[in-house]
C-alpha cells in the first residue's frame, strides 16, 4: 500500500501546517507531505517546511490572474497529490483547479455562518455566542463546499478577535489532523 501524498497550501505563519508536520513525524498521520506551496515569499510556513526537510515552492500572485491559476494547476499536476490541503491559504483557487484536484480547507467559523476572510470578526460583530471551526471540501465558491467536520467554540464576554481566533486555532489544528487521517483512510479503502 502506498502512502497517500499531500500538498499543503499556506500563506502565513503555518501553525496548521506545523500541526500536520508534527502529526506526520509522530506517525499519527500517515502521509507523505510532498510540497508546501505558498503565495507569499516571506511566509513563515516556508521556514517550517525547510526545518522539516519538506520541499517548498512559492507561486506569487501575478498581475494576470489566469497566469497564476495555470501556474498553480501545473505545479499540482506535477506533484500528483492524493489530497491538497489548504491550511491558511488566503487565495481563491480557480474553478478549473478545484474541479481537477481533491482539496480540503479549514475555516474559523461554523459554516455556513460567517464565510469569507473575516469570520472571527464577523461572529463577534453579530453577537454570536458560539462559533468554531469547519473542515470542508473546496468548491468554486467561497467557503461553500461540502462540510466534512465541525467543532464548536463558545464565545465569552472577554473575547477579543485575537483571543477568540487563538482558541479556535487550537481546536482547528486538532480537528484538521484527525479529519485528514479519516479522509485518507476512506480514500485508501475506496481504492482497494
| The pLDDT value given to residue 185 | 81
Per-residue cell: 158 = 472577554
Domain 5-191 has CATH 3.40.50.170: yes
Q: Give CA 85 to chain center in angstroms.
A: 5
Q: Give CA 47 to chain center in angstroms.
A: 17
Q: Could you read off the pLDDT of 69-112 as tens digits, one per residue?
A: 999 999 999 999 999 999 999 899 999 999 999 999 999 999 99
User: In the chain, what are the domain boundaries?
Assistant: 5-191
Q: Could you read off the pLDDT of 29-56 as tens digits, one per residue?
A: 999 999 999 999 999 999 999 999 999 9
| The pLDDT value given to residue 186 | 79
Task: Exactly one of 107, 118, 136, 191 is catalytic; name it.
Answer: 107
* pLDDT level of residue 190 (50, 70, 90 thresholds): low
Q: Could you read off the pLDDT of 110-166 as tens digits, one per residue?
A: 999 999 999 999 999 999 999 999 999 999 989 999 999 999 999 999 999 999 999
Q: What is the Cα Rg of the chain in Å? A: 16
Verify whether residue 107 is a known catalytic residue.
yes
Q: How far is CA 185 from CA 2, 3, 110, in A?
A: 12, 11, 25
Q: Could you read off the pLDDT of 103-122 as tens digits, one per residue?
A: 999 999 999 999 999 999 99
Amino acid at each position: 500500500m502506498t502512502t497517500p501524498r499531500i500538498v499543503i497550501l499556506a500563506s502565513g505563519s503555518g501553525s496548521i501546517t506545523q500541526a500536520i508536520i508534527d502529526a506526520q513525524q509522530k506517525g499519527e498521520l500517515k502521509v507523505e507531505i510532498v510540497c508546501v506551496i505558498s503565495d507569499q515569499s516571506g511566509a513563515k510556513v516556508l521556514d517550517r517546511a525547510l526545518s522539516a526537510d519538506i520541499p517548498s515552492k512559492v507561486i506569487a500572485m501575478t498581475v494576470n490572474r489566469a497566469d497564476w491559476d495555470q501556474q498553480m494547476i501545473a505545479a499540482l499536476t506535477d506533484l500528483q497529490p492524493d489530497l491538497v490541503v489548504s491550511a491558511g491559504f488566503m487565495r481563491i483557487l480557480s474553478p478549473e483547479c478545484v474541479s481537477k484536484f481533491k482539496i480540503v480547507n479549514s475555516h474559523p467559523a461554523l459554516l455556513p455562518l460567517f464565510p469569507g476572510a473575516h469570520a472571527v470578526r464577523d461572529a463577534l460583530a453579530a453577537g454570536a455566542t458560539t462559533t468554531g471551526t469547519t473542515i470542508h471540501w473546496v468548491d468554486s465558491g467561497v467557503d461553500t463546499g461540502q462540510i466534512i467536520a465541525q467543532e464548536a467554540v463558545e464565545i465569552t464576554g472577554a473575547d477579543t478577535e485575537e483571543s477568540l481566533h487563538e482558541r479556535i486555532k487550537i481546536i482547528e489544528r486538532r480537528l484538521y489532523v484527525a479529519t485528514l487521517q479519516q479522509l485518507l483512510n476512506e480514500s485508501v479503502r475506496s481504492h482497494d
